[in-house]
Amino acid sequence: MPTRLKKTRRLRGGRHMGWGQVGQHRASGHKGGLGITGMQKHHYSTLLKDDPDHYGHDSTRPPHPNVTKRWASIRDLDALYVKLCCKDNTINLAKAGYDKLLGGGSTSVGYSVRVPKFTQTAEKKLNNAGGEVSSERG
């Protein structure tokens, strides 16, 4: 049937459109409240059906993850040595605000590096270059 012949087209002109008085379908009363209203009362069965994982928490995420915020690599040590104005091949990355030393790249100078955390690769590369790495808090 064409749209122009449907009853809906005739009812569009009035205020009611099949819902009685004007305010009966406008507000949130016919839905049982706005948003998640009544999820522990009259909409509890809807909660169980639509959102079964509503209560509880996701146990796969640790509550306090260890996040390394700032790090440097072995390849950055030459530039950091100049930038931090270090002396006698000693670089204190902890005081410069670095949290970890990674083992990327290479260096030919044997630096003595102080940093809170470092990888085994970084320690190995510094030892091969004649330097050392030690754990120190800033």
Tell me the C-alpha distance between 114 and 104, whole Å: 17
The answer, yes or no, to whether residue 137 has pLDDT greater than 70, is: no
- State the Rg of the chain over Cα: 34
pLDDT at 125 over 80: yes
Please name the residues in contact with 44: beta carbons below 8 A apart, sequence gap of 6 or more. 38
**Residue 112 bridge partners (DSSP):** 90, 132
pLDDT (0 to 100) of residue 136:
74
Please state whether the predicted TM-score (pTM) of the whole model is above 0.75.
Answer: no
Q: What is the pLDDT of residues 6-18, one digit of tens each?
A: 988 888 887 777 7
pLDDT tens digits for 27-77? 788 788 888 899 999 999 999 999 988 888 877 877 777 777 899 999 999
Q: Where in the chain is the domain with CATH 3.100.10.10?
A: 71-135
Is residue 98 within 8 A of residue 118, CB to CB? The reply is no
Architecture of domain 71-135: Ribosomal Protein L15; Chain: K; domain 2 (3.100)
| pLDDT exceeds 60 at position 23 | yes
Q: pLDDT tens, 91-117?
A: 999 999 999 999 999 998 889 999 999
Check residue 138 and give its pLDDT.
52
Contact 78, 67 (CB under 8 A): no
Angle at Cα 93 formed by Cα 88 and Cα 96, nearest 5°? 110
More confident residue, 24 or 76: 76
